[in-house]
Amino acid sequence: MPTLSDLGHLPKRLVLGRAVRSDRLGESLLPKRYALPIFASDPLSSVAYATQEILIVLTLAGTAYLYLTPWLAALVVLLLGTLVLSYRQVVRAYPSGGGDYEVARQNHGPAAALVVASALLVDYVLTVAVSVSAGTDNIISAFPSLNEHRVAIAVGLVALIAALNLRGLRASRRAFAAPTYLFVTAILVMVGTGLVRYFVTDSGLVAETAAYGVTPESGYGEMGALALILLTLRAFASGCTALTGVEAIANGVPAFQAPKSRNAATTLAWMGGLAAVMFIGVSSLALLADVKYVEQPCDLTGFTGCETEPQRTVIAQLAAATFGGETSIGFFAVQAATALVLILAANTAFNGFPLLGSVLAQDRYMPRQLHTRGDKLAYSNGILLLAGFAILLIVSFDADVSRLIQLYIVGVFTAFTIGQWGMVRHWNRERGLETDPAVLARMRRSQVINLVGGTFTTVVLAIIVVTKFTHGAWLVLVSMPLLIGLMKAINRHYSNVSAQLVPDADARMLPSKVHAVVLVSKVHKPTLRALAFARATRPDALTALTVNVDDADTRQLQLDWERFDIPVPLTVVESPYREITRPVVDFVKGIRRSSPRELVVVFVPQYVVGHWWENALHNQSALRLRARLQFQPGVMITTVPWQLESSIGRDAGEDRTTPGDLGRGYPDEDADVSPYG
């Protein structure tokens, strides 16, 4: 029959399943075929909205500058290739994980490492919010009637992903692998089919918005050269959302099967190749099909339902144009795969955030709880923390991708930049220690790769800050210093605690005497047990202490004390204001003042109940006493529990003389033994 404790753990077991032994951690390590969808689902899925973000910015000036789309996409792909090559050097040089944070800590020092950590933590939260909101958009593109439930759908999806991750990598890898591979297949089939329709057949490739015009935003009608450059740079910065999540593999190297570095580097190459092909394909199809996508739907001239109907995503328009309309099987297959992978792309952050949080906790910049693995060998506290912040963002921004995306990629490019320059310093140091010409040549090649990567990411970071600052990026730039301050405060706390706990001569000295104080409210079994336990410790002095808050009750207690012939004098302290806690604390302080080297052990009898509502029916003075006494130096608090029948699941009809009764104070019918022996 399940106990009360078993029933209390039932909801946890339903979500997480059975706990996993620590010695089975190796079984949860990932082969490449599972590591790719788990760690790379974010950059792979970002092709579903990266092209869309470029179009949103370019259409601010109407349709005149959409011809820039393939050139901007090519620049993004070039930067993607550079980052993939750069991070292949990182995973080989730092196989212990931590990614850019570890690189910055080793090569730039703790200040730069904290900047990287704050940037990545913020970006991981935004990854979840943006990915899930984008997935929700694609669900609504297929089923427009769900638009009014946008926020509720997004919040529910975050909770579902968190639950899957709480079950551990072995369970989540099955859930995340198939949708990612399905999405890659769907996009490649769509791109191939669309190109065939456009270049080979006579059926053509026309998006539903191809016939629409675009009303330019105020101030973008006629632009000079400088305004055009700024618009182009802003569109490029928006397209760089395709690069988020590239660093997750470098952070998660410890989760790979051996050889870890080689497998992580190979997975990076696979991810980069697939993401580049899909991004180029989607951007090309969008240009060939003449897709229009704007920030405000009513800026589309000809879109009569703009006030009530949602604007279909770029992927939805391409799928409809490629496969023959929004009722075709191909359209629903692409939409289902896109929505699913975008939702599950948040899993990249659910792997990266807890791992980084664990590293930070180990370095004492985050609470130690983030370094603790849960029942399924996952960093459960980090998963829950990430889910909570992501839900807060989704609710605050109404799951609006256009608003959330403005906060995006500032953090990740900050980490990219600091990490790449850190690798340049790393190779400088390593080259000074190496004499083998072949190894030196490899190091020089790696350093050049990281130098190019650092230069590119520095330029892109400057572009992002300038073009996105007034559109929401300032929130990230404000949040990062606040997070850095919090991490420094946590580190100071842990450092102060460590300094105070260093053993010294005083810590080794024995107390001169031990004075036991037993708190008494009535003469009953809990009190007698506490007295018996106190006497068993053989203290130098023993005081039975009660507080007089009611004269009649105190006189009755003294009579009962004499009647039971208890061999310990009863000490009564007065409390004119009917307090219990303060007189006891003052009494203990008095003992310490008269003999500073004397150890005071306070025995506190306490009921243990089996039902939550029973706590409300009993005085909680024991809890208040412990809370006050624990701040007194030289004082120990010993709780003496008395288990009521409800706490051990007794039924009224059961035999009362069970083997545990003597331990609870029940006398054996065949023995004549008093509580004091």
**Domains with residue ranges and CATH for the chain:** 30-494 (1.20.1740.10), 510-664 (3.40.50.620)
Shortest CA distance to 396 belongs to which of 467, 340, 479?
A: 479
**641 pairs with which residues across the strands?**
606
Residue type, 165: N
Shortest CA distance to 530 belongs to which of 515, 544, 546?
A: 544
* Confidence band, pLDDT 50/70/90 cuts, at residue 556: very high
Phi and psi at 653, nearest 5°, equal -90, 0
User: Among the listed ranges 147-156, 202-211, 616-625, which one has the minimum average pLDDT value?
Assistant: 616-625
The rounded distance, in Å, linking the Cα atoms of 60 and 299 is 9
Statement: residue 266 has pLDDT above 60: yes
Specify the higher pLDDT residue, 106 or 407: 106
Peptide bond into 37 cis (omega under 30): no
Question: 616-625: b or e for each residue (b if 16 or more CB lie within 10 Å)?
Answer: eeeeebbeeb
Q: What is the pLDDT of residue 24?
A: 45
E strand or H helix at 45, and its extent? Answer: helix 32-45
The rounded distance, in Å, linking the Cα atoms of 275 and 21 is 37
Q: Where are the alpha helices (DSSP H) in 324-472?
A: 329-362, 380-396, 401-404, 410-433, 437-468
Residue type, 545: L
User: What pTM was estimated for this model as a whole?
Assistant: 0.70
Statement: residue 17 has pLDDT above 70: no
Statement: residue 15 has pLDDT above 70: no
Mean pLDDT of 168-181: 68
Burial of 208 (0-12, 13-18, 19+ CB in 10 A): middle
Q: What is the pLDDT of residue 260?
A: 86
Going from the C-alpha of 55 to that of each of 140, 149, 188, 239, 287, the distances in angstroms are 20, 26, 21, 9, 10
Q: 């079994």: which residue's tokens?
A: 525
Highest mean pLDDT among 211-215, 246-250, 536-540: 536-540
The rounded distance, in Å, linking the Cα atoms of 554 and 558 is 6
Mean pLDDT of 653-660: 44
The rounded distance, in Å, linking the Cα atoms of 469 and 37 is 32
pLDDT digits over 504-515, tens only? 666 566 777 899
Tally Cβ neighbours within 10 Å of residue 667.
Answer: 13
Chain mean position to CA 82: 29
Q: What is the pLDDT of residue 238?
A: 84
Residue pair 256/264 in contact by the 8 Å Cβ criterion: yes
Shortest CA distance to 639 belongs to which of 664, 627, 622, 616?
A: 622
Highest mean pLDDT among 131-135, 373-377, 452-456: 452-456
Statement: residue 573 has pLDDT above 90: yes
Statement: residue 666 has pLDDT above 50: no
Statement: residue 665 has pLDDT above 70: no
Region of 409 please: left (phi>0), alpha (psi -120 to 50) or beta.
Answer: left
The rounded distance, in Å, linking the Cα atoms of 101 and 114 is 8
The rounded distance, in Å, linking the Cα atoms of 99 and 93 is 10
